[in-house]
Amino acid sequence: MRILSLILILSFSTSALAQDIPGSKDHPLVGRYEGSVIKKYLTKAYEELFLVNRPVEKYSDRDKKELHSIAVAGKLTRIIYEGPAERSILEVIRNYQKKLEADGFQVEFFCRQKECGDAPTFWTVANSKSGLRSIWDTNTYLLLKKNQSGAEIWVSIYGVESSGTATNPLSSHVLLSVVESKPMEEDKIQIKDADAIGTSLDTAGRIAIYGIHFDFDKAEIKTESAPQLKEIAKLLKERPGLNILIVGHTDSKGSVDYNTNLSQQRATSVKAALVREHQISDERLTPIGIGMASPVASNREEEGRTKNRRVEIVER
């Protein structure tokens, strides 16, 4: 009995260790396994990503996110922990599970090795280009969710372990991703009124529109887009001879085909809303989706990706 009690020696102190990289800290809702060290640390006020919630069976399915992952969005904290020595990754993740379930989280998905599907494919998907070491033959993964004050909190814990040797003892490596759902600050880019749209079409032949909003990974237009759609319709009514292209754009996250299809669906939704809600002739509107092909900023940072996710109105 005493031996069993020694197994669960998890410390969830949020104090930093001396070896942690500068500026890093534990997530206050999760903590860390005792003796582990932060090797990479990243926070973003808003990010959109996919978290694996079922096995990934075939390599050909690695980019088909809807088959194996759930779309989430919000404040992101991502941490890579290394160590401690001589603790299996299963022991580490089970300790996280025990602690988080006690705090009200529910397990959405757990898998280990073959249960995760094809090992290298699962590593490619779950690693999410984070920099986690590619020791994928020991895949162990845990996804949890908690509803708190009207928001969803997602915790993804992906772990692998290196094999022990005389000079390099068994060591765990953990990728922790915490997503706290909250809406993106959408008032940073103002709605373009009919006059501004018309002026831009007269001078440049096109204008980027940021007042049309969609849920993450969806093509349905959100209700707060109504004022911007009204201004586009106003211009079209004022200029009955104006025909336009409605061009959907995305950032570079995801595959080319996926983003092209999504942007086409969004452009089509904008056309449908203008026809249905504002009685604009169908023949005046041509929806086109070009995905990530025409960025206006770098996709390396969220600020640039936000600018690239847009609808453009182009004079036809």
Query: Residue 263: is its pLDDT beyond 90?
Result: yes
Least confident of 2-6, 131-135, 312-316: 2-6
Task: Give the pLDDT mean for 182-203.
Answer: 77
Instruction: Write the DSSP string, the chain.
Output: -HHHHHH-------PPPTTSPTT----TTT---TT-EEEEEEEEEEEEEEEE-S-B--GGGTT-HHHHEEEEEEEEEEEEEEEEET--HHHHHHHHHHHHHHTT-EEEEEEEGGGGBSHHHHHHHHHTTS-----GGG-EEEEEEEEETTEEEEEEEEEEEEPP-SSS--EEEEEEEEEE-------SSPPPPHHHHHHHHHHHSEEEE-S--B-TT--SBPGGGHHHHHHHHHHHHH-TT--EEEEEE--SSS-HHHHHHHHHHHHHHHHHHHHHHH---GGGEEEEE-TTSS-SS-TTSHHHHHHHSEEEEEE-
Domains of the chain (ranges, CATH numbers): 2-180 (no CATH), 194-315 (3.30.1330.60)
In tens, the pLDDT along 203-237 reads 999 999 999 999 888 899 999 899 999 999 999 99
pTM of the model: 0.60
In tens, the pLDDT along 42-77 reads 999 888 889 999 999 888 888 888 889 998 989 999
